[in-house]
């Protein structure tokens, strides 16, 4: 196969950041994705409809001329989120709210401390038909970082799912066989996003031969058996698993640091990297469902019109990209070859 045409895809988990980052990040995603679920972990976080709509407008203003990319902004849940916040957000066209356990990841200090105290809010979300997006890791100091996703399933996720049978939940950026099995076994109101890095890499790629800060993201890369399980699950073509890049840029100096930030900036090559890995596992025929159908179907949104075409052509991801403010940023998979390229 030398070309691959699929219906226009969407990215169901994305960090665009804000301010002078937007011209770079919006253009990178808008080159091939029609829509994206945009994460609300700004500083300060996007906690109400007014902030979300203002953020949406800043993203729209940063689009390249003539581009029709549609950001789907989300609400950041905190212990102060009220039922009215959810009702107002829903009325403003916001389709989902994000739950981070406090301290779990980048800019999540303001997030939810005692998850169970949020149950009245989840109740309202269920009523309103607003999706719950979850960063599924516990943050207890005594829990090993490699076990935090599994522990979250056992401690939290099973109860949420039981308590709110009508609530649509997206288990974001899953990294383990445990999460894949959990989602598969759960009802049709539970789905998951999977990133390119968790399909392409395992923890050896983070630590063998020296620490690779640009492969560091959260949840952290797991052992190869978990990577294998994620590959198997996308290969089945199950509609419960769909594309969410978790593209999460940090300045080069913040990644190459004694205390480096978590996040891989994959937007530059995301669709190509998925094609690369789907080809590797012999599942190119499953890419379209994963990238362009299942997410929209799960969110209850129409599938996109139009198509994109990928060409089988080797190219090398740049080692650095310069931000509009002159600061360098290192894209995910920098300096490495990818076998597919978006036709422009
Ligand atoms: N995935 C990451 O490693 N980082 C994300 C936050 C997140 O999605 O957890 C970020 O905003 O930098
Ligand atoms: Zn996360
Ligand atoms: Zn994320």
In tens, the pLDDT along 37-75 reads: 999 999 999 999 999 999 999 999 999 999 999 999 999
| Distance of CA 5 from the midpoint of ligand 2 (Å) | 30
Give the mutation target among 39, 42, 260, 262 for probing the ligand 1 site: most ligand atoms within 8 A of CB.
262
Single pTM value for the model? 0.98
pLDDT tens-digit readout, 140-165: 999 999 999 999 999 999 999 999 99
- For residue 13, what is the domain's CATH number? 3.20.20.140
Catalytic hit among 246, 285, 297, 314? 246
The pLDDT mean for the chain works out to: 97
From the CA of 248, which ligand is nearest? 1
Q: How many domains does the chain have?
A: 1
Q: What is the pLDDT of residue 6?
A: 98
pLDDT-above-70 percentage for the chain: 100
| Distance of CA 162 from the midpoint of ligand 1 (Å) | 27
pLDDT tens-digit readout, 257-316: 999 999 999 999 999 999 999 999 999 999 999 999 999 999 999 999 999 999 999 999
Domain membership of residue 196 (yes or no) is yes
pLDDT tens-digit readout, 184-193: 999 999 999 9
pLDDT range class, residue 204, cuts 50, 70, 90: very high
pLDDT range class, residue 324, cuts 50, 70, 90: confident
Lining ligand 1 with CB less than 6 A are: 15, 41, 105-106, 135, 217-218, 246, 248, 262-263
Helix/strand/coil (H, E, C) string of the chain?
A: CCEEEEECCCEEEECCCCHHHHHHHHHHHHCCCCEEEECCCCCCCCCCHHHHHHHHHHHHHCCCCCCCCEEEECEECCCCCCHHHHHHHHHCCCCEEEECECCCCCCCCCCECCHHHHHHHHHHHHHHCCEEEECCCCCCCCCCHHHHHHHHHHHHHHHHHHHCCCCCEEECCCCCHHHHHHHHHCCCCEEEEECHHHHHCCCHHHHCCCCCHHHCCCCCCCCHHHHHHHHHHHHCCCCCEEECCCECCCCHHHHCCCCCCCCECCCCCHHHHHHHHHHHCCCHHHHHHHHHHHHHHHHCCCCCCCEEEEEEEEEECCCCEECCCCCEECCCCCCCEEEEEECC
| Distance of CA 48 from the midpoint of ligand 1 (Å) | 20
Give the mutation target among 105, 135, 137, 139 for probing the ligand 1 site: most ligand atoms within 8 A of CB.
105
Domain membership of residue 309 (yes or no) is no
Q: What is the pLDDT of residue 23?
A: 96
Atom of ligand 1 nearest to the CA of 195: 1
pLDDT-above-90 percentage for the chain: 96
pLDDT range class, residue 344, cuts 50, 70, 90: confident
Domain membership of residue 292 (yes or no) is yes
Q: What is the pLDDT of residue 1?
A: 80
| Residue 314 annotated as catalytic | no
Domain membership of residue 321 (yes or no) is no
pLDDT tens-digit readout, 173-183: 999 999 999 99
Domain membership of residue 318 (yes or no) is no
Does the interface predicted TM-score (ipTM) exceed 0.85?
A: yes
Domain membership of residue 154 (yes or no) is yes
Domain membership of residue 207 (yes or no) is yes
pLDDT range class, residue 81, cuts 50, 70, 90: very high
| Distance of CA 303 from the midpoint of ligand 2 (Å) | 25
Atom of ligand 1 nearest to the CA of 173: 8
Domain membership of residue 76 (yes or no) is yes
Give me the domain span that covers residue 120. 8-303
């Amino acid at each position: 196969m030398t070309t691959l045409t699929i219906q226009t895809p969407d990215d169901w988990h994305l960090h665009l950041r804000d301010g002078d980052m937007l011209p770079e990040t919006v253009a990178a995603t808008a080159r091939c994705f029609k829509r994206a679920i945009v994460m609300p972990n700004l500083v300060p976080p996007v906690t109400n409809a007014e902030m979300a709509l203002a953020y949406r407008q800043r993203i729209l203003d940063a689009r390249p001329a003539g581009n029709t990319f549609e950001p789907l902004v989300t609400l950041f849940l905190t212990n102060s989120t009220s039922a009215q916040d959810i009702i107002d957000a829903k009325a403003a066209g916001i389709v989902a709210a994000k739950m981070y356990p406090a301290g779990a990841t980048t800019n999540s200090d303001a997030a939810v401390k005692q998850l169970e105290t949020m149950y009245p809010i989840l109740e309202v979300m269920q009523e309103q038909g607003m999706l719950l997006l979850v960063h599924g890791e516990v943050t207890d100091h005594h829990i090993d970082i490699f076990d935090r996703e599994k522990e979250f399933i056992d401690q939290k996720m099973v109860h949420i799912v039981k308590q709110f049978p009508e609530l649509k939940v997206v288990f974001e950026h899953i990294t383990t066989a445990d999460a894949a099995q959990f989602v598969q076994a759960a009802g049709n109101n539970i789905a998951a996003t999977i990133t390119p890095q968790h399909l392409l890499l395992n923890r050896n790629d983070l630590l063998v031969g020296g620490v690779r800060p640009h492969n560091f993201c959260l949840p952290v890369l797991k052992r190869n058996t978990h990577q294998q399980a994620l590959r198997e699950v996308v290969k089945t073509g199950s509609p419960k698993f769909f594309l969410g890049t978790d593209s999460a840029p940090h300045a080069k100096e913040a990644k190459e640091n004694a205390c480096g930030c978590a996040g891989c900036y994959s937007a530059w090559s995301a669709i190509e990297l998925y094609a690369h890995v789907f080809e590797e596992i012999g599942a190119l025929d499953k890419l379209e469902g994963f990238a362009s159908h299942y997410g929209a179907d799960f969110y209850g949104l129409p599938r996109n019109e139009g198509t994109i075409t990928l060409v089988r052509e080797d190219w090398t991801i740049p080692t650095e990209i310069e931000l509009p403010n002159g600061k360098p940023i290192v894209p995910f998979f920098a300096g490495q070859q990818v076998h597919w390229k978006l036709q422009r």
